[in-house]
Each structure stands twice: as C-alpha cells, then as structure tokens.
Amino acid sequence: MSRAATAPPAGNERRQRGVTLIEVLVAFFILFVVTLAVLQMLSMAYMVNLGALIRTDLTYRAQRVVETIRLQQYLSSIAGGTNAACCPLPGSGSPTVQYTIPSLSGGACDAFWGPDGANVMEPNARYSLTYSIDANGRVAVQALPLTTGANVYLGPAANKAVVYVATLLP
C-alpha cells in the first residue's frame, strides 16, 4: 500500500485536529466564572433566609405578647378590674402604660412570661420585648434582636427589629 492511499483527503485534515489547550482553558475559565456567580447567589439567598427567619421569630413573639395582653384584659374585666403585676394594663389613673418584659433571670415574672405561662420569653433569649398601651387601647410591641452576648441570631440581625401594632377591644 502506498502512503497516498491511506492519507486523509486534504479537506478533512483541519476537522480532525482536536481541541487545543487554549480552547480548553477558555472553557474552564467560563465555567469558573459561572460557578462563582451561582455560589454568590446561594450565599445571598442564605443570608436573606436568615433575615426572614429572624423577622418571623420576632413577629411571632410580638403576637404572643399582644395575645397575652388581650387575655389579661379579659381576665381583669371579669375579675373586677384586677391588674396583673407582670402584665400591666392601663388603668383609670394612667392613660399610657410602657412595660419591658423581663428576660428569664430568676425574677418574679419568670413564671408568667416564661415557658410555664405565656411562653413569650425563654431562657437565654436572643431578643428583648417591650410594649406600650395608650388610652385608646392601641398596643405597640417592639421586638429587638440582641446584638451582643453569647445568644445572638446568626446573620444580619441588627436591622431586623419588629414593631407589632394592634388594638384592644374595649
């Protein structure tokens, strides 16, 4: 056999050369850039989900405070105006009440606000709760995440404060 019989035609020579090293490097670089973009999006989605988790938890706690105040208002109305010391309500002499719910640290109101009672506060809480009630029966509960200490929320918690406003029925 002669060499001319086994040689590929001149037109096919260029198609059979294969992939060059530069083409492979360009393809890897494009793949690397796309992978970095996807990882950045996943990181941002994780941070957004942590922020939503914090707001959801704080909103839940604020709702529990409002429901506890509504229950105390009802109980005080059927018990002849008795006002609980751990959940003060506005009386005839004080048109506005402002109260900070204590953290569970062995105080007298721990059983009221803690797991045995309203289940609003918990040991080693990562938040602080305050409420105010005006003369018209509007309740504003402010739930703030703690930014210092051992028990803080993970993620961007500093700007996730919740103010929950409700109206008490007369």
How high is the pLDDT of residue 163?
94
Residues 6+ apart with CB under 8 A from 163: 62, 140, 141, 142, 143
How high is the pLDDT of residue 78?
84
Cα dihedral 7, 10, 16, 22 sign: positive
Q: Alpha helices of the chain — where are they, by DSSP H? A: 3-6, 21-78, 110-113
How high is the pLDDT of residue 13?
57
Question: Is 13 domain-assigned?
Answer: no
Residue 139 belongs to domain spanning: 22-167
Question: Is 11 domain-assigned?
Answer: no
The H or E element containing residue 100 is strand 97-101
If you ran DSSP here, which 8-state letter would residue 128 be given?
E
How high is the pLDDT of residue 17?
67
d(CA 139, CA 162): 13
How high is the pLDDT of residue 37?
94
Question: Is 90 domain-assigned?
Answer: yes
The count of structural domains within the chain is 1
Which residue in this structure is represented by tokens 């210092």?
Answer: 148
The H or E element containing residue 165 is strand 162-167
Question: Is 6 domain-assigned?
Answer: no
The H or E element containing residue 143 is strand 138-145
Per-residue pLDDT of the chain (170 residues; tens, 9 = 90+): 555 556 555 555 556 567 788 989 999 999 999 999 999 999 999 999 988 999 999 999 999 999 999 988 888 888 765 667 888 888 766 678 899 998 888 888 888 898 888 889 988 889 999 999 988 889 999 999 988 888 888 877 778 889 999 998 77
How high is the pLDDT of residue 82?
60
pTM: 0.75
Question: Is 157 domain-assigned?
Answer: yes
d(CA 95, CA 52): 35
